[in-house]
Amino acid sequence: MVSITAASVTDLRFPTNRTLAGSDAMNPDPDYSAAYLELSTSDPDLTGCGFVFTIGRGNDIQAAAVTAVADRLVGRNLDGLLEDPSALNRELTWDSQLRWLGPDKGVMHMAVGAVMNAVWDLRSRREGRPLWSTLVHLEPAEVVALVDWTYLADFLDPARARELLEERRSERDSRVALLRRDGLAAYTTSPGWLGYDDNKLDRLCRRALDDGFSTIKLKVGADLADDRRRLGIARRAIGPDTALAIDANQRWGVPQAINAIEQLARFDLRWVEEPTHPDDIVGHATIAKAVHPVPIATGEHLANPTMAKQLLQLRGAQILQIDATRVAGVHDLVAMILLAAHAGADVIPHAGGVGLCEAVQHFAFFNAASVAADPSRLSLEYVEHLHEHMAQPVKVTAGRYRIPTQPGAGTAFHPTTADSFAYPAGAHWQQ
Ligand SMILES: [Mg+2]
């Protein structure tokens, strides 16, 4: 019998604000951070990892929340937990006292996500598979059983979700073979941070083309005249055939968003991301209708599957950008992938930050193999910094994510990272 013996949480912070990498209209000076959980077990070779990504101040609050949830697993039998992870997910998300701090949103919900992702990391490591493969090898009924349907079944009947998975089943092996051979398209945000000057923007756009990316994303939303100028620079640099997306990081109100998108649409936008407040579902629907056919994308701040359901029901987004650490982990993410498939929306995950690429790629590959109607429409965000801090850094070559091959959920940090970047005791923060 293997049991969970300890839950250790580390406040990791990286000083990204010094280079303005990661800067956008809402977040001008992020220090990319992670509240990082390691679940030790009675098997010395088996540790499960999960984390919540934050951007600096408050990471200590997030770490305390992860501790509050993870401590409940200490002393418990791992086999029992892995036998029915949905029961654990339900236990943690429906805890009546902690639920008061949400429900299903914010610091506590993300803390549950770190814990559930660590539990699935343990499951995949024990199976000797990467997480995407663990999910792909579940039967359709088992996938459906991962989801808490309480607030979702009015839009997507679980029986219909199972049918959908069964319809894709015959293509699964050929899709996996193709994904092993070709990977999954990456798009890059690296040229487009708002803090970069025009020359750097131009240079990095050209470099992204040379690196094989077929979609580039620019941050917008601080000043419309600047946005027009920067989009002009980017479009000239990449030519007409490379897709160009923009991300306003919630800066606009609804009428402002409509006005700005109407003015920027001539740059041929693949999508407009987070045009307004992420909770304003009706606002997203109003914007999407007004600027049709420009696609609207959102999701990195979408608190839970219930919000995703409403967004998709009202056609407020044509692209759902799931994030590996915004929601309560594997079970919520599988729910959102199924909801998107039912609604005919593309899942193009949010990544970047620190560790987000490594974690969310598993859900992108699962979606491409087992759920999505047309995997060729899918891509996944890629930002090139901080991968050296992960134990299993992503492999992106010729503009494509290569399928992960190592066991686990991709959520482990490099063993020496905490020595330098634990806050405030790490060597870096002591200088
Ligand atoms: Mg974004």
Pairing of strands 184-192, 47-54: unpaired
Q: Flag whether pLDDT at 115 surpasses 80.
A: yes
- Residue 43 Cα to ligand 1 midpoint, Å, equals 39
Q: What is the pLDDT of residue 21?
A: 67
Marked catalytic residue, from 109, 309, 350, 387: 350
pTM over 0.85? The answer is yes
- Residue 403 Cα to ligand 1 midpoint, Å, equals 23
Query: How does pLDDT run across 240-287, given as a tens digit for each residue?
Result: 999 999 999 999 999 999 999 999 999 999 999 999 999 999 999 999
- Residue 42 Cα to ligand 1 midpoint, Å, equals 40
- The answer to whether 49 and 411 have CB atoms below 8 angstroms apart is yes
Confidence band (pLDDT; 50, 70, 90) for 22?
low
Residue 350 designated active-site = yes
- The answer to whether 411 and 36 have CB atoms below 8 angstroms apart is no
Pairing of strands 346-347, 269-273: unpaired
Q: How far apart are CA 374 and CA 160, in angstroms?
A: 18
Statement: 164-401 belongs to CATH 3.30.2270.10: no
User: CATH assignment of 4-129, given 3.30.390.10, 3.40.50.1820, 3.40.309.10, 2.40.50.180?
Assistant: 3.30.390.10
State the SS3 of 121-179.
HHHHHHHCCEHHHHHHCCCHHHHHHHCCCCCCCCCCCHHHHHHHHHHHHCCHHHHHHHH
- Residue 4 Cα to ligand 1 midpoint, Å, equals 36
CA atoms within 13 A on the CB side of 168: 26
Confidence band (pLDDT; 50, 70, 90) for 374?
very high
What three-state secondary structure class fits 326?
A: coil
- Residue 194 Cα to ligand 1 midpoint, Å, equals 12
Max alpha carbon distance in the chain (Å)? 63
Query: How does pLDDT run across 148-186, given as a tens digit for each residue?
Result: 999 999 999 999 999 999 999 999 999 999 999 999 999
- Residue 55 Cα to ligand 1 midpoint, Å, equals 13
Q: Flag whether pLDDT at 140 surpasses 90.
A: yes
What are residue 243's DSSP bridge partners?
215
Q: What is the pLDDT of residue 35?
A: 98
Spell out the domain ranges in the chain.
4-129, 164-401
Q: How far apart are CA 232 and CA 351, in angstroms?
A: 25
* Averaged pLDDT score across all residues of the chain: 96
Marked catalytic residue, from 109, 219, 284, 342: 219
Q: What is the pLDDT of residue 30?
A: 87
Residue 219 designated active-site = yes
Q: What is the pLDDT of residue 18?
A: 75
